[in-house]
Every structure is written in structure tokens, then in C-alpha cells.
Structure 1
Amino acid sequence: MEDDSKREQTALAVLRIVTALLLIEHGAMKLVGFPALGVGRAGDEGNLSTLMLILSLREVFGGLAVLTGLLTRPVALLLSGQMGLGYWTTHFSGKSVFPMLNGGDDMLLFGFIFLYLAFTGPGAWSFDAKLKRI
């Protein structure tokens, strides 16, 4: 039984880390055009609206917090809400109800993964786990 718990915590950590890395990539692409210079969804890297700048900074710094497992639950809840609102206002609104057709499948998946992390916590290999032991 203890092995199962350890495997679950490890799998949760891998999910958290991979998801955070992908979110950081999305935010960095909007902010500085890296890793896909000139190909970002925002279309005008370096010339973002104030709202888009704030949201992109949340993606990068929130992603870093989730990546390291620091304040995972509250940060994941904030990011889940951001993804849900973004999906509703940008992708779902006035477009197809099917995520694959409205371009919001990644945002929807991010939202639900972050909601899951908000309830489960970071898993293994996190600052939250280290701080809990102190």
C-alpha cells in the first residue's frame, strides 16, 4: 500500500512539472516570442495589451511556482480560474462549442489540471512538501 502512495505522489509530481513547463512556454511565447519567435497566439509579442501582459506574467511566474511546488494549491486555483475565464471569453464565446474547433482545447485542459492540483496538492519533489516537514 505504501508503494502505491509513493507512486501516486510521483505521478502527481510529474503531471505538475510537465504542466508547469508547458504553461511557462505559453507565457514566454506571448511575452518575448520565445520559443517560437513570431508564431505566438497573441500575434504581436512585445506589444501586448496591459491585460494580456498581466495574464502572460501570471502564466510565467505562476508556472514557476507550480513547477517548484511552492504555494501550489492557491496558485493552481488562480491559474485554473484564469484558464476557465480565458476559455469562456476567448474561445467559447461566439465560436464552436467544441474545444478542438474553437482552439481552446489546451486552455480547457490546463484549467482542469490546475483545478486538480488545487485539490490534491503538488505531490512529491515540491517546496510545499519540504516546508510541511519543517
Structure 2
Amino acid sequence: MNNACTTWTPRILAILRIVTGYVLLWHGLAKLFHVPHIAMFDNLPLFSLLGVAGIIELIVGVLLIIGLFTRPAAFIGSGFGAAAYFIGHVAPSGIFFLPILNGGETAILLCFIMFYIIFAGPGSWSLDGSRSKAA
């Protein structure tokens, strides 16, 4: 079992990184390009709080998917997720310890997944890994 875990851990970490980036990317695409269309993002000013959030989601999402600058991207993304949780979910509801009640489950999970990626690195299948082998 240990050999299988040793073999598969970097690959599963890469899948976690890619899926996390994919989720972030779609949040950014919905805000900035209306794909998929979500009515609350209609007429969203680019330099509003949600507009800047979309820019961050788009950039960090792409960087995580391809595994480029993974740790800095995850650091920014983790801080972004924490800010999203507090600003978007805790502040309006006043509920801190129950994300199921304040609607912040996605934000807090993405925050801590990216916090893990800061320390764990990109895993397999990343441009960061390709760059370090070439150096």
C-alpha cells in the first residue's frame, strides 16, 4: 500500500490542483465573460469588488491548471478565498463558524485547498516541474 501511495500522491495532488484551478476559472469566466450566464453578474463593472475577484479567479485558475508559478498563485488564491469567505459570506450574515448557513462552503474549501497547495507544491504534470527539470 505504501508503494502505491508514494507513486500516486504526486498525481492525485496534480488532479486536486487542476480541479481547483478549473473551479476558479469558471467563476472568473462567469463574472468577466458571462460564460455561463449568471444574471447577478450582468453589467458588472470590471473594477468593482466582484470584477477584480473575477480577474483574480481567472488568472489564478489558469496558473493552477497549467501548474505555472503554482505556489505564488495558490498563496494569492488562498488569501482571495479567505477574503471571499469573510467579505461575501460572514459579513452579510454575521455567521462565522457555520459555512453551511452563510453559503461560504465553496470559498472556505477553496481557501484551504490552495493553502495546502502552497506547501505541497504542484504535484505531477506541471510547468513548474518541467521548468525545474530543465534548470
TM-score by structure 1 length?
Answer: 0.89
- The residue aligned with 1:80 is 78
Residue identity opposite 1:33 in structure 2: H
Tell me the distance in 1 between the aligned counterparts of 2:62 and 2:22. 8
CA contact (8 A) 1:79 1:111 kept: yes
Which residue, 30, 47, 52 being the options, matches 2:44?
47
Tell me the distance in 1 between the aligned counterparts of 2:56 and 2:41. 18
CA contact (8 A) 1:13 1:125 kept: yes
Q: Which runs of 4+ in 1 moved over 4 A?
A: none
CA contact (8 A) 1:72 1:128 kept: yes
**Residue correspondences, number:** 130
- Structure 2: gaps of 5 or more residues: none
Change (3 A) 1:59 1:103: same
The 5 Å alignment of 1:1-134 reads 3-35=4-36, 37-39=37-39, 43-48=40-45, 50=47, 51-95=49-93, 96-97=95-96, 98-134=98-134
Residue 49 of structure 1: CA displacement?
5.2
Instruction: Tell me the SS of whatever aligns to 2:51.
Output: helix
Tell me the distance in 1 between the aligned counterparts of 2:38 and 2:17. 28
Report percent identity of matched pairs. 32
Tell me the distance in 2 between the aligned counterparts of 1:17 and 1:91. 25
CA RMSD of aligned residues (A): 1.5
CA contact (8 A) 1:30 1:46 kept: no
- Structure 1: gaps of 5 or more residues: none
Residue 133 of structure 1: CA displacement?
0.6
